[in-house]
Amino acid sequence: MNIRKGQAELIILVGIIVVFVAVVFYTYQSSLFTAPVTPETENIRNTIENFIREGARDTLRTMYDYGGYLEAQPGSVIFLGKEIPYWQKSGQVSYPDVRQNLVQGVTSYLNENKDSLEAMLAGKNVTLGTAYVSAVILGSQITLTVNMPTQYMEQSLQQPYVVTVPSKLGEIYEFSKGFAAQEATSRYFEYFTVSSMMISPFEGGVQAVPVVVLLTQCGEMVFKTWFDIKPGMEDVIKTTLAHTYMPGKSPLGVMHKTSFPKYMIPEIGNKAYEDLNISFHLPDDFELTQSNFQFTPNPISAFTEPVPMTSQCYSNPVYVKYAVNYPVIVRVKDSLTGDSFHFAIDVSIYDNAPRPWTSDTTGYTPEVQQEICENQLCTASITVTDSSGAPVSGAEASFMGCPIGRTDSNGIVTASIPCGIGPLVIYKNRYQTFEQMMSSDHLEGTTISIEKIPVVNLNFYEVNIVNNTLTDEYWIRVGDVNMIDDITDETIHIIFYDLSTGETYERIYENRQATIRHIPPGSYAVTAMLSSPDMAIMYGAVLTTLTITEDMDGGTLYVYLPYNFEFKDITDSVEKTVASRTLTAVLEECGIGPISSEQYDINNLPCKKAYSEIVI
């Protein structure tokens, strides 16, 4: 036994010596064929490391667009033209492995593009092998370790390449996972949305999204169809998202702009993420449909009746319950890369409360309305045209609260309808809604014309107007007309007053560019003001008129807003109105807008106008 044991130990010892000798040999051999560090090899290494960085940046851009994935996922929603995946859908939270996807993306980029790099280095006799990548993702940087055999003049460049890329991906990923999980249980947006519904603005004595309807004036009547409530609910959702902030990010003075409150997301996992710029958005061309937005009773109907032995009138109270589903896009700006990371979460409300994730119920089927709509003994054939007489396809029609259908390519919808008198509603996105009480007898062969609501782009400019009291002149100097910067601490407040109907459309903007989508054609008196975000300080205003026409659709209006040093100190409302008219006149005398379809040529500056030339 001792002899065998000694032989075994000898064999093991010999094996260790052989391995040691082999390691020493190959290490020595390798050192013989490793390219020495020279300016030329350093140049090659720098080129390859820049190639790796570009691969990392390209992969990060893709992952940020697709919510951490390398490609679009099934069931995504569209935001800024990109397909954004759900990280929380129906209460189920699912997210990608970003480190694995980063490694996979960079590896694919390097191996798929190395031929072009070799071609660029053709004069240096460089060949590249297959790349193998590993990554460490930290809060503010990513470290990539890349083994990619590199031959230079029959010698190998030292491996691996280690590249650091500034990025907040690690912190963004940590926040996003925590937010998706915490929101799925806490249901922040459901509660915020319901709160906004409860305080939605009043229109004609009834809330835009009425929860309780109780009329007290004799002769009052309310009849609201799905098409009436839809715009109000869309505004509620948009306003809710615009007023939702992360801890420490709520601006001051919000209540000066709107009656809606600020909504605060609590810390995520006991962390505020104050150094991340987080905002909440809706998908592109978001619109509520009859599948994702319902309410009961539908239509909402109430009318007052006299109370016996009194001179008062009351209606029976109508309690309205809502069911609505919509996606929220969570956008997280990476200040180190300049790109934004996106993912979507699901918001679901039923009976004016968060819908239980375990519930299969998503909408309503009112029995009374169902009975009305099932009793279809009359027929309708309706042609819908635009103001030029051209057919409008895809317009939705309803009668007495019962859907009729959508117009075909000839603008015609034909269907069975209930008999009687009720509201005929024709609706199509970006057109004015037609609503009129009509008899079913008049709906056979009738033609309805609806006007298109143009989508108009707005570009905002600031014009510095100097009041030179020494020369009794107003000056606009070279360099005093500039596009308002997105990060400028200023707010644009515009009020459109319809001169024919008396309707008022009020909008607040905080960016250099914006879009108006819901203002119908017509003649308007326009007040446009430039102020601080809390609207406590007003820098200037214009009073002008504007005619919006259908053919302005897709066009651009250039809005020039005056900035005057003395204006902000005016407190008297009458004096401020006079000053606004004066600033408007100065702009007009200098040929600058104030609202124009043509961009002002700044080569016409400077402009000086004497006090005597300004007529208000």
The full set of domain ranges for the chain reads 39-167, 212-357, 374-449, 456-613
In this predicted structure, the answer to whether residue 253 has a pLDDT above a threshold of 60 is no
In this predicted structure, the answer to whether residue 278 has a pLDDT above a threshold of 50 is yes
Point out which residues pair with 385 in neighbouring strands.
391, 449
- Residue 563's pLDDT is 93
Q: Are 395 and 428 in contact (CB under 8 A)?
A: yes
Kindly report the number of other CB atoms within 10 A of residue 602's CB atom. Answer: 14
In this predicted structure, the answer to whether residue 351 has a pLDDT above a threshold of 50 is yes
Three-state SS for 436-494 is EEEEHHHCEEEEEECCECCCEEEEEEEEECEEECCCCEEEECCCCEEECCCCCCCEEEE
Which of the four CATH numbers 3.20.20.70, 2.130.10.30, 2.60.40.1120, 3.20.20.80 does domain 374-449 have?
2.60.40.1120
User: Which of the residue ranges 79-83, 158-162, 258-262, 452-456 would you say has the lowest mean pLDDT?
Assistant: 258-262
User: Which of the residue ranges 90-99, 413-422, 501-510 would you say has the lowest mean pLDDT?
Assistant: 501-510
Mean pLDDT of 532-541: 82
CA distance 313 to 155: 98
Reported in sequence order, the residue ranges of 564-599 that DSSP labels E, i.e. its strands, are 595-596
Over residues 464-490, the pLDDT tens digits come to 999 999 999 999 999 999 988 765 678
- Residue 250's pLDDT is 72
In this predicted structure, the answer to whether residue 14 has a pLDDT above a threshold of 50 is no
> For the chain, what percent of residues have pLDDT higher than 70?
89
Is residue 16 very low, low, confident or very high in pLDDT (cuts 50, 70, 90)? very low
Amino acid code (one letter) for 163: V
Is residue 163 very low, low, confident or very high in pLDDT (cuts 50, 70, 90)? very high
> For the chain, what percent of residues have pLDDT higher than 90?
54
> The tokens of 105 are what?
């993306």
Is residue 590 very low, low, confident or very high in pLDDT (cuts 50, 70, 90)? very high
Compare 179 and 3 and report the one with higher pLDDT: 179
CA distance 198 to 211: 7
Q: Which residues of 72-97 are buried (b: 16+ CB within 10 A; e: fewer)?
A: ebeebbebeebbbbbbbbeeebebbe
Q: How many helices (H) and strands (E) does the chain have?
A: 8, 44
- Residue 238's pLDDT is 93
In this predicted structure, the answer to whether residue 545 has a pLDDT above a threshold of 50 is yes
Cα 349 from chain centre: 21
In this predicted structure, the answer to whether residue 6 has a pLDDT above a threshold of 60 is no
Mean pLDDT of 49-72: 94
Mean pLDDT of 160-184: 95
CA distances from 221 to 200, 233, 302 (A): 20, 21, 6
- Residue 315's pLDDT is 82
In this predicted structure, the answer to whether residue 504 has a pLDDT above a threshold of 70 is yes
- Residue 4's pLDDT is 45
Question: Residue 278's closest CA among 241, 253, 252?
Answer: 241
In this predicted structure, the answer to whether residue 377 has a pLDDT above a threshold of 70 is yes
